[in-house]
Amino acid sequence: MDSVSERHGLRPNRIAVLSVHTSPLAQPGTGDAGGMNVYVLQTALQLARRGIEVEIFTRATSSNVPPVQEAGPGVLVRNVMAGPFEGLDKHDLPTQLCPFAAEVMRQEARHRPGYYDLVHSHYWLSGQVGWLTRDRWRVPLVHTAHTLAVVKNAALAEGDSPEPATREIGEKQVIAEADRLVANTAEEARQLIELYGAQPDRIDVVPPGADLARYRPGDKAAARAELGLATDERIVAFIGRIQPLKAPDVLVRAAAEVVRRDPTRKVRVLVVGGPSGTGLQRPDALIDLAAELGIADRVTFLPPQPPDRLAHVYRAADLVAVPSYNESFGLVAIEAQASGTPVLAAKVGGLGTAVRHNETGLLVSGHRIDEWADALGHLVDNPESLRRMGARAVEHAAEFSWEHTADGLLDSYTAARMDFRAIRGQLGIGPLVDTERVSRGGVVLPREDDWAAEERTSLATGPESGQTRPRALRRRRMGVRR
């Protein structure tokens, strides 16, 4: 597809990436930063390697960051001033979307028109801003939801608060407005269609990747020495934000049960991450839980680790557990497997694809502690299974590279631009001209404006042309919002 698209000049030269609520330069595993941050940064770096300039807009949350940072060759992070640096959490951010959008549009206006060829928004908050900039810049909007409120609320962890209805409404709007949607998995595509009414032919399934150069098999003993961990224990690691959604408590409870069943088992739980979301209300809850269950001496906590140190964690572990109530993809599961470490995961969302049951790890349906203890006990007792699965895991993870992801995104971008051009091409006008102004004999300038001009021009040419227009534009005219 690349050669065709390049011949037509449809490959974007410069894209604006919107990541309002969390910076790609933030440390994953703490605050609101997680797999999405890694995704945004890694795909940007890969796209830049292909010659595409990437500018990532994120809300500035510290006075220490400059307005623009270089995240790597060809990748700029623009820290946008919108509201105070501190004191706003994700649920407060809807009040800052207009200021954020205004500032992004002011920054773009410093350049020649047509500076960005496309907008890619991540998470629904960014999608709301992306829709405004798309209208303004007349370029396609590609949107990745990453997580969906309806899905999250349907599988809510005990004690976790549901996402507000306003988020569901906002997501539905963005999904209806976006020119194309990128889903991380086929499961997410199905959710977009069935739960949000997305059109199947506007969705591209593009699996995220892992940094395979960084995460690869290595010396387990050396990794344990680096982290100060014993060499004679079976280590099962949890890597992620400590919050109900990620369910680290399920792992701790299952480990306690495994030890209760056979106290000779030398099991250690390694928790790597910081409290986040509703987990912030009780940051020590997991430590207290381990103490209550009598396995405080078998649980080690580490703060969120930078990528180099995280590579040691994956190698040091015999097993990585991902007990989340929902994961749109499950980047940790891929990174673990790339490191040759099998994964014990909940069979939810993208994890069903990320992990191959009985081949590269085990999938557990639901979150019953006895079932998690069965699976964990089985793996802990069978080093040969772990070795076999670890070897197979490396092969499986090789399919998930950021290079593949970037290729998929480029295809999606090109398709989005092709749709866009098709609509304009079919209408038979280069830059869209405001017919009202022409007929009034005013200043006759092409007006780079929004969809409305297209609609008016199209209606003027009669209904038959409207009937053959591509679906993307028809939808706008026939959809619920019109």
Among 70, 92, 194, 288, binds its own copies (CB under 8 A): 92
- Stretch near its own copies under the rule CB under 8 A, chosen from 46-54, 193-201, 350-358, 451-459: 451-459
- Give the number of C-alpha atoms closer than 13 A to the C-alpha of residue 179, restricted to the C-beta side: 29
Per CB under 8 A, 481 contacts its own copies: yes
> Do residues 291 and 313 make contact, with C-beta atoms less than 8 angstroms apart?
no
Among 101, 149, 299, 416, binds its own copies (CB under 8 A): 101
**What DSSP string runs through 425-443?**
HHTT-SS-B-HHHHHTT--
Do the annotations mark residue 152 as ligand-binding? no
Binding residues for its own copies restricted to 318-337, rule: CB under 8 A: none
d(CA 34, CA 23): 10
Among 219, 395, 403, 449, binds its own copies (CB under 8 A): 449
d(CA 296, CA 303): 17
CA distances from 105 to 302, 423, 430, 451 (A): 41, 24, 24, 18
d(CA 147, CA 195): 13
The H or E element spanning position 418 is helix 402-426
- Stretch near its own copies under the rule CB under 8 A, chosen from 159-167, 284-292, 296-304, 357-365: 159-167
Number of residues that bind its own copies (CB under 8 A): 51
Per CB under 8 A, 466 contacts its own copies: no
- Stretch near its own copies under the rule CB under 8 A, chosen from 40-48, 221-229, 285-293, 445-453: 445-453
Among 68, 169, 222, 460, binds its own copies (CB under 8 A): 169
Q: Which two tokens stand for residue 317?
A: 């572990």
Shortest distance (Å) from residue 88 CB to its own copies: 7
Which is nearer to its own copies, 251 or 453 (by Cβ)?
453
Binding residues for its own copies restricted to 405-434, rule: CB under 8 A: 434
Shortest distance (Å) from residue 251 CB to its own copies: 35
**What DSSP string runs through 196-260?**
H---GGGEEE----B-TTTS----HHHHHHHHT--SSSEEEEEES-BSGGG-HHHHHHHHHHHHH
CA distances from 268 to 30, 51, 71, 85, 287 (A): 22, 46, 36, 39, 14
Binding residues for its own copies restricted to 131-150, rule: CB under 8 A: 131-132, 135-136
Do the annotations mark residue 37 as ligand-binding? yes
d(CA 460, CA 455): 9
Per CB under 8 A, 60 contacts its own copies: no
Among 87, 228, 441, 463, binds its own copies (CB under 8 A): 87
Which is nearer to its own copies, 58 or 353 (by Cβ)?
58
Q: Which two tokens stand for residue 404?
A: 């593949």
d(CA 23, CA 15): 17
Do the annotations mark residue 317 as ligand-binding? yes
Per CB under 8 A, 450 contacts its own copies: yes
Per CB under 8 A, 451 contacts its own copies: yes
Q: 53-59 and 68-72 as β-strands: parallel, antiparallel, unpaired?
A: unpaired
Residues making up the annotated binding site for Mg(2+) are 314-315, 317, 341
Residues making up the annotated binding site for UDP-N-acetyl-alpha-D-glucosamine are 27-28, 35, 241, 246, 305, 327, 335
Which residues of this protein are in contact with its own copies, per CB under 8 A?
81, 83-84, 87-88, 92, 94-99, 101-102, 105-107, 109-113, 128-129, 131-132, 135-136, 164-167, 169-170, 173, 434, 436-437, 440, 442, 445-447, 449-453, 456, 481-482
